[in-house]
Structure 1
């Protein structure tokens, strides 16, 4: 029968998830291929980054200690699963940037994006649709 070892308690939805650049790269592979071994992650990342297996494995072990990954042990094989959803990771990254660059205010951030990054007609239309959907739901506030 397979043995499963859970590391730290998985992070809750309300927890602020902050991943390093290396952790982001690893999580993207894990989300796409989970459960997966560190070797699978290293091979996948080899095309874009030349990272040694030991570096990837050590990083993944540390991510498990932080509660980002869960390790399932089956005999002498370790499979990694995510404890953090992609949505929660993106939310944490977004909140960190929003707080740091715009003092947590969404409107100035949107204004900055529109004025300095530009918006195609299609993107402007999609944005209008999203705003209208939010109005219809009555979810103008958090």
Structure 2
């Protein structure tokens, strides 16, 4: 039986991004990485760390007088959960309306169009 999905907020995802880029890290490292780009206070960042710990999205290992934090939730797993949630909530669980929306409202580069064609060809070859 699989574990229920871990739901993380937008703010928590910023902390996760820091840990996905490099882990393990101390809280001081994480604070230093997030202070300037977010404008958050140190206490806010440490609160987010504690929330993520409580949710099981990250783990902490004691290293002397400090803790080293590492992600337990993989980025790919989170992306899958978030994309499925968006698809279900906004597009009725269907991929075609999502692609239609983006093709009509976003400018796709020639490279992106070529990548989509390759993806569709790969799907056709698999028989899906």
Question: How many residues get paired?
Answer: 127
More off after superposition, 33-42 vs 45-54: 45-54
Q: CA RMSD in A?
A: 1.5
Answer yes or no: is 1:45 the counterpart of 2:31.
Answer: no
Q: Is 2:35–2:42's contact at 8 Å kept on the other side of the alignment?
A: no
Consecutive unaligned residues of structure 2, counting only runs of 5 or more, are none
Compare the two structures and name the one with the higher helix fraction: 2
Answer yes or no: is 1:23 the counterpart of 2:12.
Answer: yes
Task: Quote the residue 1:68 is aligned against.
Answer: 57
The match for 1:33 among 6, 16, 22 is: 22
Per chain length, whose mean CA-contact separation is higher, i.e. which structure has more relative contact order (CA < 8 Å, sep 6+)?
1
Q: Is 2:60–2:69's contact at 8 Å kept on the other side of the alignment?
A: yes
Tell me the TM-score normalized by structure 1.
0.82
Task: Quote the residue 1:104 is aligned against.
Answer: 93
The match for 2:114 among 119, 125, 131 is: 125
1:49-108 CA distance string (max 9 Å, x none): 122222211211111110100010122111111011111111111111111110111111
